[in-house]
Structure 1
Amino acid sequence: MDTKFERLPLAQDLQWPDNRRIAVVFNLAYEMWTPGVTSGVGPMGNVLKDGLFDPNADSYGRYNAAQGIPRLANILERHGITGTLMTSGLVAEAFPEQLRAYADKGYDIVGHGLAQDMVFPTLSEADAERSILRSTALIEAATGQRPRGWISPRVTSSTRIQKMLADHGYLWHGDVLDQDLPYVQRFDQAEIMAIPMSVEFNDLPHAMRFGRTPRQFVDLFTQTLEGIKSQPAETIILDIFAHGHCYGRPAAAWAIDEIARVCKQDATLWLTTRSEIASYCTHAGQQAA
């Protein structure tokens, strides 16, 4: 059952810094799976029957932290773009030095569940809280900083989970798709900022579900940006998602490089992170009375 909350919208005339209207966030999915569990997608397409462990899908997922994320991170760094690292707790446990290096470079390190297969609707309340607490502790131990934001596996949580995040000190989450702009959720004893995700630019469904090419991914973004600018001005957030085991590979990573180049050359865009958006909305006094 969902937990009730009071919704506090932001000011209707919200604009991003320097009167910009479009914020762009590069989200890198830095993921691992529970031992003995594999990614729900793999390059072969056909799922092994009877719940058999799939070594192919397991190896495919391991590419994420080993090769894909370093390549994607290097791309953003070449363009001087600060990215968001949606980080599984198990990644922080397995690769603490690598995660610490990203934190030291200024990446927005965001809690992303203990493991990618631990999707909240499948967990008991106790296991859900364990995922939050252990993920938070592992990230803090690796980076020396407690994460301020959370994006759940599959971007899927309930208001019950969102209240739990607020109770444990999180300032924002990205587990909503119902608005264009952030809003505050006020529960009985705590509140948290909900910063909605946009869903159009995600490499996994683009490539794995629809079978479209990296060039189409680039074209989808550039044509969308052109179309948005042709419409009456609105303040919005555009998310770009790249998974290390999907578009972190050489055959597709160039598409993220090209999109990053387009964004960096466009002074009308605010290239930012969700933590920066949360801070801006809070400290600039943008919340409606």
Structure 2
Amino acid sequence: MLPTHGRYEYSGWPGRTPYAWPGGAALAVYLGVNLEHFAFGEGLGAELAAGGPQPDVLNFAWRDYGNRVGAWRLLQALDELRLPATVLLNSAMYDYAPELLAAHRARGDELAGHGRTNSERQSILPEADEAKLIAESTAAITRHEGTPPRGWLSPWIAESRATPDLLVEAGYTYSMNWCADDAPIWMSTRAGRLLAMPYPQEVNDIPAIAGRKDGAADFADLILDDFHERLHQVRDGMAQVMGIALHPYIIGQPHRMRHLRRALAEIAQHRDAVWITTAGAIFDHVAALPPGVVPGSEWVA
């Protein structure tokens, strides 16, 4: 027998119990906007080009462009198209760019936990230190927003074997780390259940643009192909979640923003047929469904 995680059981797509999103929609769409801050001269960070010895000014400044310029351009597009967002937040952003977070707060966007900084990876920490990382990030969001975050995406989507347990113990109700399904599923932890919220590793500008080197038009087409294929698929009555993962230092470049706006405008034209929402609102809807509807609800306490 292969080792297993023990967090959920297998549930194939056919044969699941159908359910709908608010308004009878079968497709929910949310935007995951990653607001990240990085240490200068040390630690992890995505690269535009192969970095040299630290301090790696080229790549640090490229990432910082996202907070100084790209995120504001993205906000403008979201306002123009009347689109909500789930902000995946490094808590270090409160000290670095508080006015950017104030702008998202004023829009009513959801703020979810995304660690302290993407310069570190929580999966390599001893359990006590990982719990401290989660607690410090959570406390900062709670202090500034007045309510604790409910969702979590680990920096670099890195987990230790204890991460789901620690998240529930810290008060989290959903995690975006497990990209194993097109619909939410319940996971088991030592402290109770945790919802695995679909988070995209394909419709995501880091693997698409920084990884595969797709062009701006290619990424916009990828978003729309994913969207329209899902609209075709959900005719079977099975509800799906489509996430779009965005990083302002990548997508906020002018030549990419032009194509992203094209894709998001087309999705917005379907707002009467699909549910354009936040990850937290998706959690609320799923949590209210009867037992046995969502995979895992029949066996996860």
Which of 136, 160, 163 matches 1:161? Answer: 163
Q: 1:270 and 1:243 mapped to 2: Cα distance?
A: 22
Please name the residue that 1:247 is paired with: 251
Is 2:20 the partner of 1:18? no
Consecutive aligned runs of 4 or more in structure 1 exceeding 6 Å deviation:
8-11
Given the alignment, which residue of 122, 125, 136 partners 1:123?
125
3-state SS in 2 of match to 1:146: coil
Query: 1:204–1:246: 8 Å Cα contact kept in structure 2?
Result: yes
Of the three residues 136, 139, 145, the one matched with 1:137 is 139
Matched residue, 1:193: 195
Tell me which of 84, 95, 120 is aligned to 1:82. Answer: 84
Q: 1:271 aligns with which of 269, 276, 296?
A: 276
Q: Which amino acid aligns with 2:159?
A: S
Output the CA distance in 2 between the equivalents of 1:36 and 1:21.
Answer: 46
Q: How does 1:85-234 map to 2 (within 5 A)?
A: 85-231=87-233, 233=236, 234=238
Asked whether the 8 Å contact 2:200–2:245 carries over to 1, the reply is no
Amino acid corresponding to residue 265 of structure 1 in structure 2: Q
The change in CA–CA distance for 1:114 and 1:141 in structure 2 (over 3 A counts) is same
Alpha-carbon deviation of 1:113?
0.7
Unaligned runs of 5+ in 1: none
Whether contact under 8 Å (1:38, 1:53) holds in the other structure is: no
**How many Å apart are 1:229 and its aligned residue?**
3.4
Q: Compute the displacement of 1:281 (Å).
A: 0.6
Q: Does 1:40 align with 2:45?
A: yes
Aligned length: 286
CA distance in 2 between partners of 1:2 and 1:56 (Å)? 41
Identity of aligned residues (%): 22
Task: State the one-letter code of the partner of 2:181.
Answer: Q
Gaps of 5+ in 2: none
Structure 1 vs Structure 2 CA RMSD: 2.5
Deviations 1:151-175 (A, max 9, x none): 1112232451111010011111111
Contact 2:174 2:283 in 1 (8 A): yes
Task: Give CA deviations for 1:69-113 in whole Å, capped at 9, x if unaligned.
Answer: 121122112111110111001112323343133123211101001
Q: What is the DSSP-based 3-state SS (H/G/I as helix, E as strand, rest coil) of the residue aligned with 1:23? A: strand
